[in-house]
Amino acid sequence: DGAWGGRCDEQGRFFITASDPAGVALDRIVLEQGHDHWAPSVMLERSDDGQRWHSVRRFDDLAPGRNELFVYEQPPVWKQPRIAPTAAAQNAVAESLIDPFADRRVLVTIAAYRDPDVANTVASALAQAAYPEHVRFAICHQFDPQTQSVLDQWNDDPRFSIDAVPHEQSQGCCWARHRTFEQYDDEPYLLQVDAHTRFAARWDVRFIEMLESTNADLPLLTTYPPSFSISPAGEIEYDLKVGVQSLYIEQLRDNLTTFQKTEVVRDLSAPGPSPTVAAGQIFTRGRFCRDVPYDPQLYFGGEEINLAARAYTNGYDLFYPNENLIWHLYGHDQPKHWDDHSDHTDRDRQAVDRLRTLFQGDHRSLGRYGLGSVRPLASFERHAGIRLRQSSRDNDTLTIEIDQAVVESRDDYDAFVVVLLDAHGSEITRREIRDPAVLNRSRSVVKMRDFGDDLQRAVEYLVVPTQRNGTIGEVVLRSI
C-alpha cells in the first residue's frame, strides 16, 4: 500500500522505496509481469542503510501476469490463484518464444582506446537490457595505466570476452574491431557500438523487433546515433529533440574514402533504406562477423564505405532505424590512436591502397576481406549513388579483360563470348572474340567498339569461354 518509487542501478537491480520516510510494514509485493518478456525468478534483498544488503527470499517459478511475493511466509489463507493469461496473451507468449525470438543472444562488440567510459557503456547496456543474461560482450580494451582496471569487475563474468592490449601495441580502430569479431560464438544478433555509448530501456528486444520487422533475410540497421553529454555535476543529458537520422554520402573523395552526413527521417512507420553504414551503430545478424569480417589492415578512413560495399555485395540490406535506442558521446576528449602513434600516415596510405584494390583492382586478392558474390559492385554503386569503379568504357569502346586466373589455358577454344548485361542482369547484346592471340591467352586485354547505345545501358559483362565441342568453361563476370 502507498506510493512506490523505482530506480535501476548499473547491475540491473530494481529498487523500491516506501513513500513514508518512517517506513511501512511490508508483507508482500505484487509483481505484474508483461507477456512480451518476463523474469522466471527474482531475489528480494533488504537494506536498512542503503549500503549493506541482506537476502530475504528467492522466488522461483514466476510467470506472466500477477505474481504475489510474500516477504516472510506465505499464509495459505492469503494465497490467491495466479491469474491465468487470456488466450490472446498465451498466444503472444508463444509467439515470443519461437524464432527469431527464441534465442535472444546479442553479441555487443566494442573497440575501446584508452577510454574510461567503456565501463559506463557496459553498465548502461546491462542495466537497460530486457535480457541482460543474454547479452555477451567482446571488447578490445586498448589500455593505458589509467584505464587498465576499468573492466576488472567483469573479468570473471562468462558473458565477457575482454581482449586487453597495451595501447602501445594497438594497430588502429579496424584492427581492434577485427579482434572483437573474432570472438563471435554463433550469437544470433550483433550490435557494434563505440566505447562511449548509452542505451534505451529494453534496447535488446526493441532492436530485435525492429530488425525482424524489415522481413529481410539479412537486414542491417545503421545510422549515426544522437548525442548525449555529461554536465560538470556528472549528470547525463540526452538529446531527445534531434529525431531519427538517416545517412547519406555527401562526398566521395579522390582516395575513395567518404564524407557522410545525416538528415532527419520524416516517416518513422518502419525502417527505411540506407545507402551506407555508420560504424558506431550496427545491429544485424551475428553471422555478419563471419560474412563481413573487419579488414585489420584498414586504419580509420574508408572503414564505413568498405563495410557498406562488402555488406551489400554479400546480400545484406541496409536500413536506418525508425527509433533511437542508443546515444553517443561526441564531445569526449579521450586520446585518439593517431595522437599516440607516429606511423598513422603510413597506415592511412596502406588503407587507401586496399580500398583501391577492393573497388578498382582484383578484390579477390584480399581474400575474405574482398567483395561478396551475391550482388555486383555496380549494384551497390546504384544503391549508394556513387561511382567507385574505374570505368572500362570510353565513349563507344569497351575494354574487356580475360582473367587468366579464372580462364584455364587450353588449345581447343573456339571463341570467348562477351555478353553485356543491364542493371537487372538481362542480356543486352553479345559478341564473339576469335582472335588466336586471345584464345591462346598471349593477350588478356581486348578493346571492343561499335556497341552504340547498348554500351550505355550495360553495367556488367560476361566472358564465356567456349570449346570446339560446345563445352563451356569457367564464366567470368565483371562490372563495367
111-137 mean pLDDT: 93
Q: How far apart are CA 441 and CA 145, in angstroms?
A: 60
Residue 176 confidence (pLDDT) above 70? yes
Q: How many CA atoms lie within 13 A of 254 on its CB side?
A: 1
* Beta strand extents in 323-442 (DSSP E only): 326-328, 393-394, 397-401, 413-421, 427-433
Residue 79 confidence (pLDDT) above 60? no
Nearest to 296 by CA among 311, 286, 284, 306: 306
pLDDT band at 310 (very low <50, low <70, confident <90, very high): very high
Cell numbers 545510422: residue: 223
Q: What is the pLDDT of residue 340?
A: 55
Q: What is the pLDDT of residue 247?
A: 93
Q: How far apart are CA 316 and CA 310, in angstroms?
A: 9
Q: How many CB atoms lie within 10 A of CB 225?
A: 25
Q: What is the pLDDT of residue 178?
A: 95
Residue with more model confidence, 453 or 322? 322
- Weakest-pLDDT range from 179-193, 238-252, 391-405, 413-427: 391-405
Q: What is the pLDDT of residue 236?
A: 86
Q: How many CB atoms lie within 10 A of CB 388?
A: 20
Q: What is the pLDDT of residue 22?
A: 59
Residue with more model confidence, 231 or 91? 231
Return the C-alpha torsion angle 421, 477, 418, 456, nearest 10.
40
- Weakest-pLDDT range from 90-94, 191-195, 244-248, 438-442: 90-94
365-382 mean pLDDT: 93
289-317 mean pLDDT: 92
Q: What is the pLDDT of residue 158?
A: 94
- Weakest-pLDDT range from 32-36, 106-110, 429-433: 32-36
pLDDT band at 49 (very low <50, low <70, confident <90, very high): low
Give the highest mean pLDDT range of 12-21, 388-397, 469-478.
469-478
Give CATH 2.60.40 domain extents, the chain.
393-479
Q: How far apart are CA 288 and CA 285, in angstroms?
A: 6
Q: What is the pLDDT of residue 338?
A: 45
Fold (topology level) of 393-479? Immunoglobulin-like (2.60.40)
- Weakest-pLDDT range from 35-39, 193-197, 257-261, 334-338: 334-338
pLDDT band at 73 (very low <50, low <70, confident <90, very high): low
Write the Ramachandran bin of 186: left for phi over 0, alpha for psi from -120 to 50, otherwise beta: left
- Weakest-pLDDT range from 65-69, 100-104, 246-250, 446-450: 100-104
Q: pTM for the complete prediction?
A: 0.64
Residues of the chain with pLDDT > 70: what percent?
80
Q: What is the pLDDT of residue 1?
A: 40
Q: What is the pLDDT of residue 24?
A: 60
Q: What is the pLDDT of residue 190?
A: 98
Q: What is the pLDDT of residue 232?
A: 84
Residue 111 confidence (pLDDT) above 90? yes
Q: Give SS3 for 248.
A: strand
176: which 3 cell numbers? 581492434
Give CATH 3.90.550.10 domain extents, the chain.
106-346
Computed over every residue of the chain, the mean pLDDT equals 82
Q: What is the pLDDT of residue 309?
A: 95
The architecture (CATH level 2) of 106-346 comes to: Alpha-Beta Complex (3.90)
* Beta strand extents in 60-159 (DSSP E only): 65-70, 106-113, 135-143
pLDDT band at 346 (very low <50, low <70, confident <90, very high): confident
Return the C-alpha torsion angle 321, 327, 328, 329, nearest 10.
160
Q: What is the pLDDT of residue 330?
A: 86
Residue 192 confidence (pLDDT) above 50? yes
